[in-house]
Amino acid sequence: MGPTGAAGATGLTGPTGPTGATGATGAAGAAGSIGATGPTGATGTIGLTGPTGPTGATGATGAAGATGAAGTVGPTGPSGPTGATGATGPTGAVGATGATGPAVACIALDTTVDGISQYLGVVRNGEVIVGRQTVSTQPPSAVFWINLSGNTGYPGSSVCGVGVAVQSNNLVVTALTTGGGVYETVCNKTGTNPTNLVCTSAWVQVTPSPARLPDGAAGPDPAVATDDRAPAGLTAATPGPTEYRRARSGHRPKA
């Protein structure tokens, strides 16, 4: 074999071959030094409100505050129910005796019938009045009245009771005083006309007086009235005692 000839010229670069497979990772290098702190970033936007947290424990009671000014008085409330009745209290002391009341005039009436005639005796305001009427008709006749308080010996305004009785042609009139004295007088009656009654006799005290009653005072009473009105309360003796007059007046109505 002859000698190696001279090196020929460099040929053109051939196309790049395909990339080879990646090699295995190399070992980590040593850590570099910390770089300088960068500038503060801009403030971010406010985030959403988070949920309410749990209630905390109650705190200690604070000191009492100063007393406030008094408020205005409120309106009166409604009345409460009535309470139970209390026990009866003790009986009080007896009061003083009251003054004596005014005296009350006595009023009395007595009647008797003889035949067709009725005889009446009345006490009114201390006066004794007798009357006569015919009762054989209905209504009975008017009553003929005679006041005997003006007759001599009349016992006065203390008269409180009267009685009348017939004996023959006599009408016996008896009066009782508040002092227990008994007095009598007699009227004369004739016929059947009520006006035929005459009473002019004096009063005489009956003696002795009843044993259990004190004697009454005798004598006329100057306080006896002198009117000629009919006794009050006897208007039912139809048509009223229009014929009534005092015996001492001497007046006699027509028959």
More confident residue, 149 or 253: 149
Can you spell out the DSSP letters for 50-88?
A: PPPPPPPPPPPPPPPPPPPPPPPPPPPPPPPPPPPPPPP
pLDDT grade for 1, boundaries at 50, 70 and 90: low
Which has the minimum average pLDDT: 21-30, 51-60, 153-162? Answer: 21-30
Residue 148 pLDDT > 70, yes or no?
Answer: yes
Q: How far apart are the first and last CA of the chain?
A: 232
The whole-model pTM stands at 0.48
Residue 232 pLDDT > 70, yes or no?
Answer: no
